[in-house]
Protein backbone atom coordinates (compact mmCIF):
# COMPACT_ATOMS: atom_id res chain seq x y z
CA UNK A 1 0.00 0.00 0.00
CA UNK A 2 1.35 3.39 -1.04
CA UNK A 3 0.48 6.85 0.28
CA UNK A 4 -0.96 7.66 -3.16
CA UNK A 5 -3.50 4.86 -2.57
CA UNK A 6 -4.73 6.81 0.47
CA UNK A 7 -4.67 10.45 -0.57
CA UNK A 8 -5.24 12.37 -3.78
CA UNK A 9 -4.34 15.98 -4.55
CA UNK A 10 -7.88 17.09 -3.62
CA UNK A 11 -7.59 15.44 -0.18
CA UNK A 12 -4.52 17.43 0.88
CA UNK A 13 -5.05 20.76 2.64
CA UNK A 14 -2.61 23.51 3.63
CA UNK A 15 -3.00 26.18 6.30
CA UNK A 16 -6.10 24.69 7.92
CA UNK A 17 -7.33 26.89 10.76
CA UNK A 18 -8.01 25.31 14.14
CA UNK A 19 -7.40 26.44 17.72
CA UNK A 20 -8.05 23.15 19.51
CA UNK A 21 -8.01 19.39 19.04
CA UNK A 22 -11.80 19.31 18.82
CA UNK A 23 -11.86 22.06 16.21
CA UNK A 24 -9.16 20.27 14.18
CA UNK A 25 -11.21 17.04 14.27
CA UNK A 26 -14.36 18.97 13.28
CA UNK A 27 -12.53 20.50 10.32
CA UNK A 28 -11.25 17.09 9.22
CA UNK A 29 -14.74 15.59 9.60
CA UNK A 30 -16.24 18.40 7.51
CA UNK A 31 -13.76 17.81 4.71
CA UNK A 32 -14.09 14.02 4.98
CA UNK A 33 -17.87 14.25 4.66
CA UNK A 34 -17.48 15.87 1.24
CA UNK A 35 -14.99 13.24 0.11
CA UNK A 36 -16.71 10.12 1.51
CA UNK A 37 -20.34 11.14 1.14
CA UNK A 38 -20.97 10.25 4.79
CA UNK A 39 -22.48 12.70 7.32
CA UNK A 40 -20.00 15.01 9.04
CA UNK A 41 -21.51 14.24 12.48
CA UNK A 42 -21.06 10.48 11.95
CA UNK A 43 -17.39 10.97 11.04
CA UNK A 44 -16.78 13.30 13.97
CA UNK A 45 -18.39 10.81 16.37
CA UNK A 46 -16.06 8.04 15.11
CA UNK A 47 -13.00 10.28 15.55
CA UNK A 48 -14.00 11.45 19.03
CA UNK A 49 -14.77 7.89 20.11
CA UNK A 50 -11.30 6.81 18.95
CA UNK A 51 -9.65 9.70 20.82
CA UNK A 52 -11.40 8.55 24.02
CA UNK A 53 -9.43 5.29 23.78
CA UNK A 54 -6.18 7.25 23.71
CA UNK A 55 -4.73 10.13 21.79
CA UNK A 56 -3.80 9.69 18.14
CA UNK A 57 -1.14 12.37 18.63
CA UNK A 58 1.98 10.27 18.07
CA UNK A 59 4.51 12.97 18.94
CA UNK A 60 6.79 15.40 17.10
CA UNK A 61 3.80 17.51 16.04
CA UNK A 62 2.02 14.66 14.24
CA UNK A 63 -1.40 13.07 14.75
CA UNK A 64 -3.06 10.23 12.84
CA UNK A 65 -6.75 10.36 13.76
CA UNK A 66 -8.49 7.29 12.42
CA UNK A 67 -11.53 5.09 12.69
CA UNK A 68 -13.84 2.64 11.00
CA UNK A 69 -16.89 4.04 9.30
CA UNK A 70 -20.07 2.37 8.09
CA UNK A 71 -21.10 2.94 4.51
CA UNK A 72 -17.71 3.36 2.84
CA UNK A 73 -16.05 0.76 0.66
CA UNK A 74 -12.40 1.87 0.68
CA UNK A 75 -9.82 3.45 2.97
CA UNK A 76 -9.88 7.25 2.69
CA UNK A 77 -7.04 9.53 3.70
CA UNK A 78 -6.92 13.26 4.26
CA UNK A 79 -3.78 15.21 5.05
CA UNK A 80 -4.04 18.59 6.74
CA UNK A 81 -1.29 21.01 7.68
CA UNK A 82 -2.56 23.35 10.38
CA UNK A 83 -1.62 27.02 10.20
CA UNK A 84 -0.67 26.81 13.91
CA UNK A 85 -0.12 23.81 16.15
CA UNK A 86 -2.80 22.73 18.62
CA UNK A 87 -2.68 20.76 21.85
CA UNK A 88 -3.58 17.18 20.88
CA UNK A 89 -2.78 15.47 24.21
CA UNK A 90 0.26 13.96 22.46
CA UNK A 91 2.64 11.78 24.42
CA UNK A 92 5.43 14.38 24.11
CA UNK A 93 3.07 17.33 24.84
CA UNK A 94 4.18 19.12 21.65
CA UNK A 95 1.48 20.92 19.63
CA UNK A 96 0.27 19.09 16.52
CA UNK A 97 0.37 20.77 13.11
CA UNK A 98 0.49 17.75 10.76
CA UNK A 99 -2.61 15.53 10.67
CA UNK A 100 -3.26 12.49 8.53
CA UNK A 101 -6.85 11.27 8.85
CA UNK A 102 -7.67 7.68 7.92
CA UNK A 103 -11.19 6.32 7.58
CA UNK A 104 -11.67 2.65 6.82
CA UNK A 105 -14.74 0.53 6.12
CA UNK A 106 -16.13 -1.47 9.04
CA UNK A 107 -14.97 -4.64 7.32
CA UNK A 108 -11.37 -3.49 6.72
CA UNK A 109 -9.19 -5.37 9.17
CA UNK A 110 -5.73 -5.72 7.69
CA UNK A 111 -6.15 -2.84 5.21
CA UNK A 112 -6.81 -0.42 8.06
CA UNK A 113 -3.69 -1.59 9.91
CA UNK A 114 -1.57 -1.50 6.73
CA UNK A 115 -2.71 2.06 6.04
CA UNK A 116 -1.87 3.14 9.61
CA UNK A 117 1.57 1.53 9.37
CA UNK A 118 2.26 3.16 6.00
CA UNK A 119 1.26 6.63 7.20
CA UNK A 120 3.27 6.20 10.39
CA UNK A 121 6.39 5.19 8.41
CA UNK A 122 5.97 8.14 6.07
CA UNK A 123 5.59 10.69 8.84
CA UNK A 124 8.47 9.31 10.93
CA UNK A 125 10.80 10.73 8.26
CA UNK A 126 12.12 13.90 9.94
CA UNK A 127 13.29 15.45 6.66
CA UNK A 128 9.92 14.88 5.03
CA UNK A 129 8.12 16.52 7.97
CA UNK A 130 10.46 19.53 7.75
CA UNK A 131 9.61 19.86 4.04
CA UNK A 132 5.89 19.58 4.82
CA UNK A 133 6.15 22.29 7.46
CA UNK A 134 8.06 24.52 5.04
CA UNK A 135 5.42 24.32 2.30
CA UNK A 136 2.19 26.27 1.99
CA UNK A 137 1.09 24.83 -1.35
CA UNK A 138 -1.24 21.79 -1.50
CA UNK A 139 0.37 20.45 -4.68
CA UNK A 140 3.79 20.62 -3.03
CA UNK A 141 2.46 18.89 0.10
CA UNK A 142 1.01 16.09 -2.03
CA UNK A 143 4.31 15.72 -3.91
CA UNK A 144 6.30 15.58 -0.65
CA UNK A 145 3.96 12.96 0.82
CA UNK A 146 4.04 10.75 -2.29
CA UNK A 147 7.67 11.22 -3.38
CA UNK A 148 8.65 7.79 -2.03
CA UNK A 149 5.87 6.24 -4.16
CA UNK A 150 7.41 7.76 -7.29
CA UNK A 151 10.91 6.57 -6.35
CA UNK A 152 9.75 2.99 -5.76
CA UNK A 153 7.86 2.96 -9.08
CA UNK A 154 10.97 4.03 -11.03
The active-site residue out of 66, 81, 112, 118 is 66
Hey, what long-range contacts does 130-134 have (CB within 8 A, 24 or more apart)?
A: 132/81, 132/98, 133/61, 133/81, 133/97, 133/98
| Rounded Cα distance, 143 and 112, in Å | 23
Residue 112 is a catalytic residue: no
Q: Using an 8 Å Cβ cutoff, are 149 and 3 in contact?
A: yes
β-strand 57-59 against 76-86: which pairing, if any? Answer: unpaired
Residue 75 CB coordination number (10 Å): 22
Q: Which residues are catalytic?
A: 66
Amino acid sequence: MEISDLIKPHTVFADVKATSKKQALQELARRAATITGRPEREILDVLIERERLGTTGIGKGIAIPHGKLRGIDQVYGIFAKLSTGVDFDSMDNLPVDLLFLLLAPDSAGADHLKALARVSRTLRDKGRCEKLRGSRDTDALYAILTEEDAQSAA
